Structure 1
Amino acid sequence: MAFFYYSLFATLCWVGVIIYLLINGRKMAPLDLQAAAEVEPSVAIIIAVRNEEADLEKALQSVCKLNYANYRIVVLNDRSTDGTAAILETFTGKYQNLSVTHITELPYGWLGKNHALYQGYLNSTEEWLLFTDADVEFHPDALSKAVGYATRNRIDHLCILPEVISRSEMLNAMLGTFTMLFTLQFRPWASSNPKSKASIGIGAFNLVRREAYEQAGTHQQIKLRPDDDLKLGQMIKAAGLKQHVLIGKGYIGLEWYHNVQQFVNGLMKNSFAVADYSVLKTIGGIILILILIALPVPLMLLFGTKTEQGMACLILIFQSIYMTSPVLPNKWWHALMIPFAGLLMAYISARSAFITLKQGGIYWRDSFYSLDMLKGKV
C-alpha cells in the first residue's frame, strides 16, 4: 500500500510540475518576435576568453557582424596558453570596433573570469554592458532586438536563455532534464516580478545598464563566485532594479559541452557553489532528485501493479510533452532518459561536494581557492 501512495504522490507531482512549467514557460517571450531598436544606445560587448581556440573564431565572427551601429567589442584574454592570442590578433586587424586586453596576472581574491569581466567594465564607457561567453553565436539581429526590448520596457537587466545544442544526442537528452531542474529552481519567468525573490542571470547573455551594474556593486561583490552569472542577476534584483528574461532560440546559441563527460566535469566545478557550499542543501537536493526524478518511473514500471504502471505511463506522457516545448532543443523520447539524467545530477552534486570538502576548496583555471576564501571567511 505504501508503494501505491508513493506512486500516486510521484504522479501528482509530475503532472503538476509539467503543467506549472508549461504555463509559466509561456510567460517568457521569444526574442525573435521583438522589434529592433529604433534608437541605438552605445553597447560594450564584454567577452572573457581563456584557451578558447576551438570555438572562438566562429563565435567572434558572429559578434563582429551584428546589425547594430553603436557597439564595441571588448575582449579580455585571461592568460591563455593556446592559440587564442593569435586568433584575436587576426580579428583586431580586421575590425576597428574590437579591442583586446591581455591579462597576464590574476590578483589575489579573484576568480579569473570574474576579474576579466570586471576589467572589461573598467575598459569601457558605454551606456550598456553585455557580458557574454567566448563560445556564444549571435544572429545578426540579436543585439538590436534585445536592446530594443530593454529600452522600450525600461528595464535594467535583460537575460536571454540561449539555444543550447550538442553534437552528442545523449547529452541533448541530459540537457532537457538539466533545463527542467534549472527552471524549477530559479523560476526565470518570475524574475520580472518585483514582489518575487526569483532572479536570473545567464552567462551567455547578461545585458545590463551601466548605472544598474554599478548600483548593484559590479563583479567586485562576486569576486570568488564560480556561478558569477547567477549571482550577478541576484545582485541586480536585490538592488531593486528591473529584470526580464527572453527565449533566444534561433538568435543566441552555443554548444555548451561536446559530450556527457565534459558536461559532468563542467558542472562539478560549481554545483556545490550553487548550493552555497552547504552540505545540508546538497543532501536535501540529492534526496529530492532521487525520490522524485530518478526512481519513480523505473520502480513503478518494474515492480508496480497495472495501476501503478499506468501512472508511470501517464508521467512519461507529460514528460514527453514538456520535452517538445519551445524552450528545449529536445525530442519527445528524451523523456525516457530523465531517470538516468536524474541519477547523473545526483552524482554530480554529491561528487562536487565531496571533492570540494576533501581538498578544502576548488581548482579554477589552474588556481586553488580554499573553502574559507570562497565563503568569504578570509
Structure 2
Amino acid sequence: MRGARLVEALDRFVLGGRAGRDRSPTTRLVTAVAGPLALGYLSYRVFSILSNAGGLVRLRPGRDSTGEAAGSAAGATAPGLRVSLLVPARDEEDTLVTTLPALLAQGADDVVVLDDHSTDATARVARDAGARVISGANLPEGWVGKPWACHQLAAAVLGEDAVDGDAAGAAGAAGAAAGATPREHLLIFTDADVTWHPGALAALVAEMQRRGTDLLTVFPKQRVGSFGERLVVPLVDAAFIGHAPVPVIRSRRRGAVAANGQVMAFRRQAYERAGGHAAVRGELVEDIRLARAARDAGARFDAVLGARRSGCGCTRPTAPPSRGWPRACRACTWSRGW
C-alpha cells in the first residue's frame, strides 16, 4: 500500500499533479513502469553507498587492513620490490612546495616528476626538493594530456628495468639457478596535489601484498573549505564510490570498476598487459578506462579509502571547478559501462 502511494506521488510529481483519470493509457503505462524503476535504482545506489562505507578498507599509518604492522617507510623498498612514485605536474609550483617533501619521505625507490610544459617554477621546485625531474615532450596527435604525461613517466622507469636487467645478466642467471625471483616493480601514479601522510606508502604496499592485488586505487579524503565545496564534493564522491557494491567492484565482472586517477598503483605486469596509458591515449576519463582494461586483461583489482584528517593515507584539497569538477562529472556519467 505504501509502495503504491509512493508511486502515485512520483506520478503526480512527474505529471504536474494531474489526476489519474486525465491520463492516457500510454502515460499510465509509462509511469507505472518508470516509478518502480526509479525507486529500485535509488534503493540500489543507497545500498551501494552503505555497503561501501563499511566494506572499503581505509589506509592507516604503518598498518594494513588487518591492523598488522606494514613496516617503516623504508619497508616499502624491501629486497625484491621496486616502488616508483610518478607525478605528472603542470603549473604546480605552489602545490609541490607542500606535497612533495611528504612524498619524498615515503621511502620509495624513485620519485619522478614530469614537468608538462609548466609556465611557472614547477621543475625547479621539484628538483630542489630532491625529486627526479623529466621534461614532457610535445603532445602527439591523438593523445590527451594526462595519459601522455603518465605514459612518459612509466616509460622512464620501465626503461631502467630493462637496463638493470641487462647489467645483471650473469648475476641473474646465477640467481635463477639458486631459485631467486626477479625484482617486482610497483608503478604508483599520483596527482601533485595529493598529500601523502607518514606511513601511507608502506600501508598501501602492505595492502597490495596482503591481498595479492595487481591494481589498487585510492580515494583520498577530500579537504573542503567553502559551503559550495561541502555541498558538491560529497555528491561527487558518492557517485564514484556508490555506483556498485564492494563485492561487485572486487568481482571479475566486466566493467564493474570504480577507479580514481588521483592515486593508482599497478604491478608492472598488470600495467603492461592492460596496454599502459597508450591504451587510453585519447580518453578524458583515463583512470576508469585503464582500470577496466587491466581488469579485462585479468588483473586483480581493489579500491581503498584514504585516511581521515587524524589518520594516515592520502588527503587531497578540492580542485577549482575549472580544473577538476567537469572531469569528475564526466567520469560519473561514464563510470558504469555495464
Amino acid across the alignment from 2:90:
R
Is 2:249–2:258's contact at 8 Å kept on the other side of the alignment? yes
What is residue 57 of structure 2 aligned with on the other side? 29
Change (3 A) 1:20 1:46: closer
Paired position in structure 2 for 1:84? 122
Shift of 1:4: 2.1
SS class of match (2:92): coil
Higher mean C-alpha displacement, 180-189 vs 123-132: 180-189
Distance (whole Å) between structure 2 residues aligned to residue 127 and residue 264 of structure 1:
35
Which one of the candidate residues 251, 254, 257 is aligned to 1:193?
251
Aligned length: 267
Q: TM-score, normalised by structure 2?
A: 0.71
CA contact (8 A) 1:25 1:189 kept: no
SS at match of 2:298: coil
Aligned residue identity for 1:4: A
Secondary structure at the counterpart of residue 58 of structure 1 = helix
Change beyond 3 A, Cα 1:240–1:234: same
- In the other structure, the counterpart of 2:142 is 109
Distance of 1:265 and 1:50 partners within structure 2: 12
Paired with 2:314 and 2:154, the residues of 1 have a C-alpha distance of: 22
The answer to whether the Cα contact below 8 Å between 2:102 and 2:196 also exists between their aligned partners in 1 is yes
Larger Rg: 2
Q: CA deviation at 1:249?
A: 2.0
Q: Which residue of 2 aligns with 1:212?
A: 270
Task: Please state how far the C-alpha of 1:16 moved relative to its aligned partner.
Answer: 5.8
- C-alpha distance 188-105 of structure 1, shift in aligned 2 (>3 A): farther
* Selected match of 2:315 from 232, 237, 253: 253
Is the aligned partner of 1:58 residue 2:94? no
Q: Distance in 2 between matches of 1:13 and 1:187?
A: 13
Task: Look up the match of 1:376.
Answer: none
Contact 1:28 1:245 in 2 (8 A): yes
Give 1:339-358 correspondences, 5 Å limit.
none
Deviations 1:270-323 (A, max 9, x none): 7457656xxxx9xxxxxxxxxxxxxxxxxxxxxxxxxxxxxxxxxxxxxxxxxx
Q: Work out whether residues 43 and 127 of structure 1, in 8 Å CA contact, stay in contact via their aligned partners in 2.
A: yes
Displacement after TM superposition at 1:241 (Å): 1.0
Judging changes above 3 Å, is the alpha-carbon distance between structure 1 residues 188 and 54 closer, same or farther for their aligned structure 2 residues? farther
Aligned to 2:242: 184
Does the aligned pair in 2 maintain the 1:78–1:113 contact within 8 Å?
no
Check the 8 A contact 1:53/1:83 in 2, yes or no: yes
Letter in 1 for 2:151: Y
How big is the alpha-carbon RMSD for the aligned residues of Structure 1 and Structure 2? Answer: 2.8
The Cα shift of 1:141 comes to 0.5
Q: Secondary structure at the residue paired with 2:324?
A: helix
1:255 and 1:82 mapped to 2: Cα distance?
20
Retained in 1: the 8 A contact 2:236–2:332? Answer: no
Query: Where does residue 284 of structure 2 map in the other structure?
Result: 226
Aligned counterparts of 1:183 and 1:270: Cα–Cα separation in 2: 12
Task: Specify the alignment match of 1:357 in structure 2.
Answer: none
What one-letter code is carried by the residue in structure 1 that aligns with 2:124? A
- 2-structure distance, mates of 1:170, 1:44: 36
CA–CA separation in structure 2 for the residues paired with 1:11 and 1:272:
24
Q: CA separation in 1, counterparts of 2:39 and 2:321?
A: 29
Query: Hey, what's the Cα distance between the residues in 2 that align with 1:203 and 1:226?
Result: 11
1:20 and 1:88, CA in 2 relative to 1: closer, same or farther beyond 3 A? closer
Read off the aligned partner of 1:171 and give its amino acid letter.
E
What SS does the corresponding residue of 2:127 show, helix, strand or coil?
helix
Pair 1:13–1:202, CA change in 2 (3 A): closer
Give the partner amino acid of 1:21.
I
Aligned-partner residue type, residue 256 of structure 1? T
Aligned partners of 2:306 and 2:148: how far apart in 1? 27
| Aligned partner of residue 51 in structure 1, secondary structure | coil
Indicate how the Cα distance of structure 1 residues 270 and 246 shifts in structure 2: closer, same or farther if over 3 A, else same.
closer
What are structure 1's unaligned runs of at least 5 residues? 282-378
Q: CA deviation at 1:187?
A: 4.8
Q: Kindly tell me: are residues 264 and 187 of structure 1, through their superposed partners in 2, closer, same or farther at Cα, counting changes over 3 Å?
A: farther
Residues of 2 paired with 1:201 and 1:19: CA distance?
19
- Deviation, structure 1 residue 89: 2.9
Change in Cα spacing, 1:26 to 1:50, as seen in structure 2 (3 Å) is same
What is the deviation of 1:112?
2.0
> Map of 1:351-370 to 2, 5 A cutoff?
none
Q: Amino acid of the residue matched to residue 150 of structure 2? A: L
Q: Structure 2 CA distance, aligned partners of 1:243 and 1:157? A: 5
C-alpha distance in 1 between matches for 2:321 and 2:246: 22
Q: State which of 188, 197, 200 in structure 2 corresponds to 1:130.
A: 188
AA matched with 2:100: L
**Alpha-carbon separation, structure 2, partners of 1:223 and 1:264:** 22
SS at structure 2 position matched to 1:198: coil
| TM-score, length-scaled by structure 1 | 0.64
The answer (yes or no) to whether the contact 2:257–2:291 under 8 Å persists in 1 is yes
Q: Relative to 1, partners in 2 of residues 1:222 and 1:12: Cα closer, same or farther, differing over 3 Å? A: closer
Deviations 1:320-346 (A, max 9, x none): xxxxxxxxxxxxxxxxxxxxxxxxxxx
